[in-house]
Structure 1
Amino acid sequence: MSETTRTYRPRRDRVWFLRSRAYTIFVVRELTSVFVAWTIAYLLLLVAAVLDGALPAFAAFAAQPWVIALNLVALAATAFHSVTFLNLAPKATVVRLDGWRVPAFMIQGGNHTAWLLVSAVLFWVVTR
Structure 2
Amino acid sequence: MTTAYRPPRDRLWFARSRHYTLFVLRELTSVLVAWSIVFVLMLADAVLGGSLRQFAALAAQPWMIAINVVALVATVFHTITFLNLAPKATVVRLGGWRVPAWMIQGGNHSAWIVVSLLIAYVILRSP
Shorter-chain TM-score bucket reads over 0.9
1:17-96 superposed matches below 5 A: 17-96=14-93
Amino acid at match of 1:56: R
The CA RMSD over aligned residues, in Å, is: 0.7
> Percent of pairs identical after alignment?
67
- Find runs of 4+ consecutive structure 1 residues off by over 4 angstroms: none
> 1:63-118 CA deviation, whole Å, 9 max, x = no partner?
00000000000000000000010011111111111111000000000000000000
Give SS of 1:9's match: coil
Structure 1 residue aligned with 2:103, among 99, 103, 106? 106
Alignment partner, residue 116 of structure 1: 113
Q: C-alpha distance in 2, partners of 1:71/1:118?
A: 20
Alignment partner, residue 12 of structure 1: 9
**Runs of 5+ consecutive residues of structure 1 not aligned to the other structure:** none
**Runs of 5+ consecutive residues of structure 2 not aligned to the other structure:** none
Using the size of structure 1 for normalisation, the TM-score is 0.96
Q: C-alpha distance in 2, partners of 1:41/1:10?
A: 42
Amino acid at match of 1:99: G
Q: C-alpha distance in 1, partners of 2:25/2:111?
A: 24
Q: C-alpha distance in 1, partners of 2:44/2:2?
A: 62
